[in-house]
Amino acid sequence: MRRAVAILVAFVAVAFVTVAAQAESRGEQVFKQKCAMCHMVKGKGGGAIGPELTKIGARLKGNALKAQLENPRKKNPSSAMPSFATLPKAEMDALLGYLKTLK
């Protein structure tokens, strides 16, 4: 019985890690499609227009990060960054998940 429980726990742990890695990967894909032409992460990306985002997850937490994506001109009225308020929920969640890992 203990062995079955240990195997089940190990399976759940592997599944959780796999799902988390897939979410981060999807978020990174969204970043490359929507953000990398203006921003850099770890020295990669267009980066000439927007700030470097390698440590954005340490600077902005959940709600502040989402607010910045949805209304970038609220904090900086002269920002050239477009609003991502209409980004589909799944893409927004994936992007936020990825950006939160950047610390």
Which pair of tokens denotes residue 47?
A: 């980066």
pLDDT 10s digits, 20-58: 445 459 999 999 999 999 999 998 887 778 999 999 999
Residues 54-72: pLDDT tens digits?
A: 999 999 987 999 999 999 9
Separation between Cα atoms, residue 35 and residue 26, nearest integer Å: 13
Q: Where are the domains of the chain?
A: 2-101
CATH superfamily entry for domain 2-101: Cupredoxins -  blue copper proteins (2.60.40.420)
Phi, psi of 60 (to 5 degrees): -120, 135
Q: Is the pLDDT of residue 5 over 60?
A: no
Provide the whole-model pTM. 0.74
